[in-house]
Structure 1
């Protein structure tokens, strides 16, 4: 496994543990994402997996069980990352041409960390993100040019119903890096 595959696997494992810990009565809990429940968070993550698997002709079978749906999505992505031909297949993305592995790394792997926080918040789990992931996500998010950040904050800029980041939430200057990251992407830490 390479660095991208290792990072995805580690993050997917953390996300899966959060999904597995959700009690049945918590699936309809409100998440920090205004229009999403805890179930919607997992559905979004699985849907993004399915979307990023399309360029390499992989499809996911739907499942009503959020844990099973995520496990199947994870297995499909890990198979792609383990196949050098599929991992290096290029596809057009909103960020320009990217290999499948880079697209997975920049989109769904990062989503696992951020939406893992959403799921934890919605279901009363530990909200602490891995400090290494926080540093990586802070660096990449802080480096987004202002005009692109504006696009990320504009609902529908990447397609109907798609909102990447919400309006920035101001946090104290001495807030933790995790809280500053969450505020930057529009979450209330």
Structure 2
């Protein structure tokens, strides 16, 4: 078991708990992602898991749709991605990404793994759950996100730069420099922390 596989499992556990805690009437609640409701957040996460399988010429296994059963849909794609991470040959395979060549496990870690944390916050906010992120994840994400060069950050903030309908970060939301690190991270990626 690698550090990335462990980190993915921990983050997926947290996201799954948030899905399980959503009450039926909350699925249409608006999320901090302007165009999405709570169900859309889960749909995005499920879709991104499917994209992580493509470099290996794999597709997600059969599962309920997010429209039918968000929890079952997530559990199914989570199992597909975890199986990749648990197989050293698959996890270590190289793939081309918008940010260059890297291993499949690194792409999973940096894309869907980070999304589980950030969109976990979105889902929590949309459904009135505790939105506190794991401090280890906050520190790690702050370190990597704050180090993104300005030109690349601008691309991340440009809708459609990575494909039609894809918006990675919104415009920066200014927060006080002495705000908690989670708030500064959220502001940096375009979320109003409070």
Question: Which TM-score band applies after superposition, normalised by the shorter structure?
Answer: over 0.9
Contact 1:49 1:108 in 2 (8 A): yes
- 2:98 equivalent in structure 1: 94
- 1:128 equivalent in structure 2: 132
1:16-65 Cα offsets, whole Å, 9 max, x none, are: 00000000100000000000000000000000000111111221235221
Alpha-carbon distance in 2 for matches of 1:76, 1:90: 18
Contact 2:16 2:71 in 1 (8 A): yes
TM-score (norm 1): 0.98
Alpha-carbon distance in 1 for matches of 2:74, 2:101: 26
1:176 CA drift (Å): 0.3
Alpha-carbon distance in 1 for matches of 2:17, 2:80: 18
1:141 matched to 2:145? The reply is yes
Alpha-carbon distance in 1 for matches of 2:116, 2:140: 13
1:36 matched to 2:13? The reply is no
Q: Is there any run of 5+ residues in structure 1 with no aligned partner, and where?
A: none
Contact 2:85 2:91 in 1 (8 A): yes
- 1:110 equivalent in structure 2: 114
Q: Is there any run of 5+ residues in structure 2 with no aligned partner, and where?
A: none
- Aligned partner of residue 91 in structure 1, secondary structure: strand
1:68 CA drift (Å): 0.5
Q: How many residues align?
A: 189
1:135-157 Cα offsets, whole Å, 9 max, x none, are: 00000000100000000000000
- 2:171 equivalent in structure 1: 167
Alpha-carbon distance in 2 for matches of 1:186, 1:150: 12
Contact 2:41 2:123 in 1 (8 A): yes
- Aligned partner of residue 182 in structure 1, secondary structure: helix
Aligned residues: CA RMSD: 0.7
The partner residue of 2:73 within 69, 93, 114 is 69
1:61-103 Cα offsets, whole Å, 9 max, x none, are: 3522110011011101110001111101111100011111000
Contact 1:58 1:76 in 2 (8 A): no
- Aligned partner of residue 96 in structure 2, secondary structure: strand
TM-score (norm 2): 0.96
